Amino acid sequence: MASPTEKQRDRVPRARADRFAERRAELGDAALQTLSNLGYARTSLREIAQNSVFSHGVLHYYFDDKVDLIVCSVRQYKARCVTRYDRVTADAASYDEMMEGFLRALGETLRDEAHMHRLWYDLRAQALFEEAFRADVAAIDKSLEQMVWRIMRRFSELAEAPPALSPPVLYALFDGLFQQYLLRHLSGDEKAVEALRADARSAIDTLFGRGRARRVGDQEERRLVATRTGDGAAGVSAHGARLEEGVDALPREMPLRMGHLKSVQ
């Protein structure tokens, strides 16, 4: 059994390690803004130091190089990203409520955090060339895949329909869609956010068999509006057709009874 003195010695290194990790996390967060503005190729530890309150020496003490710092920063940011939709999935009581909450959060992160997402895609592209990035990029990618799967699984529960695709394919689908609209948004396309929401809605509806039902519902709504307002020949024609159907459906005895009533009168 360890003595109190030995336990104290064990706690001291752990406490120091915790403080070291906390300091790294603090520096990683502080570096995010510079990293997201400049990107991997144009960023160095000295550049980050010049754009923050921390000295170049401090950064070098806590990080081996800029790869170490960038990975630390992006890991922390993506760790927060993967919980962005947890409240939506937990609170949604219906498929439509889930859809609106998800699309709202999706559009907000594209609009408000575009530069941070750009840094992630920059890092992932660098992993094709820099072996030092690959393990961390793979781990972050896996966490994002799991995030997408949690979202789609909740849609599946609310739609009462099984997911039509596997987790990796679903992730590839929505990640590709997001990256496409991120580029459009960064290029100045003012419609990119709403276009992303529209395409995401269409993709999810199609995955869970809601696309056809939604189109049929829209067509029925337009038909009813045309009927109520007598909108042109189409509305009149539809109304007349239903009247004819109603007359055909009347009992055969009805004309006799009507004639009987006239004779009585």
Q: How many CB atoms lie within 10 A of CB 65?
A: 12
Side chain identity at residue 229, one-letter code = T
Confirm whether 13 is domain-assigned: no
Tokens describing residue 76: 């922390």
The whole-angstrom separation of Cα 160 and Cα 143 is: 25
3-state secondary structure of 63: coil
Q: How many residues does the chain have?
A: 265
- CATH number assigned to the domain comprising residue 72: 1.10.357.10
- Asked whether residue 230 is assigned to any structural domain, the reply reads yes
Domain range enclosing 81? 21-214
The contacts of residue 153 (CB under 8 Å, 6+ apart) are 163
204 shares a domain with 220:
no
* Total domains present in the chain: 2
pLDDT, one tens digit for every residue, the chain (265 residues): 555 444 444 544 677 778 888 888 888 888 887 888 888 887 788 888 887 778 888 888 999 888 888 888 888 888 888 888 998 999 999 999 999 999 999 999 999 999 999 999 999 999 999 898 899 999 999 999 999 999 999 999 999 999 989 999 999 999 999 999 999 999 999 999 999 999 999 999 999 998 655 544 455 555 655 565 555 444 444 444 443 444 444 444 444 344 443 444 4
Distance CA 30, CA 67 (A): 15
Specify whether 243 is located in the same domain as 164. no
